[in-house]
């Protein structure tokens, strides 16, 4: 095999490797970033809130969400004390989290939460 033919094959291999890496990077950057719904709530009516807690998980799941933390132990390390209940829900994208919150199903569920808890909901997009 001649050196020129070997050099040609090597150049083709290098171009192929670069192309595969570029496609991989573009796919990674094009994939939606995960998002997290951060909730802090103070429950004021346990019985009514229990009705909300019964239906919310199915709605979360319908929109691709999954609970990462749901009212377990928490500790405020800095700043004003966190509310009594802290919830973290992961969604496949920022848009999915927003669709969940604005959905007709969750709008109905929120009516059960009203009068049973005061809450703050924040969506944050992952890196």
* CATH at residue 98: 3.30.70.100
Q: Which residue has the higher pLDDT, 19 or 62?
A: 62
Number of domains observed in the structure of the chain: 2
- Beta-strand runs (E) in 30-106: 35-43, 66-70, 85-91
Do both 89 and 64 map to the same domain?
Answer: yes
Do both 87 and 39 map to the same domain?
Answer: yes
pTM of the predicted model, to two decimals? 0.75
Q: Which residue has the higher pLDDT, 12 or 31?
A: 31
- Beta-strand runs (E) in the chain: 35-43, 66-70, 85-91, 117-125
Read off the pLDDT band of 101 (50, 70, 90): very high
Domain that holds residue 5: 1-31
| pLDDT at residue 32, as a whole number | 87
Q: Which residue has the higher pLDDT, 1 or 125?
A: 125
């Amino acid at each position: 095999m001649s050196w020129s033919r070997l050099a040609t094959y090597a150049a083709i291999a290098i171009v192929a490797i670069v192309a595969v890496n570029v496609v991989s990077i573009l796919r990674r950057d094009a994939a939606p970033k995960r998002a997290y719904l951060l909730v802090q709530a103070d429950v004021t009516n346990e019985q009514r809130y229990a009705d909300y807690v019964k239906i919310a998980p199915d709605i979360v799941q319908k929109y691709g969400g999954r609970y990462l933390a749901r009212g377990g132990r928490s500790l405020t390390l800095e700043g004003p004390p966190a509310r009594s209940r802290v919830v973290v829900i992961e969604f496949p994208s920022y848009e999915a989290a927003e669709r969940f919150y604005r959905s007709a199903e969750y709008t109905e569920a929120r009516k059960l939460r009203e009068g049973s808890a005061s809450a703050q909901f924040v969506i944050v997009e992952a890196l």
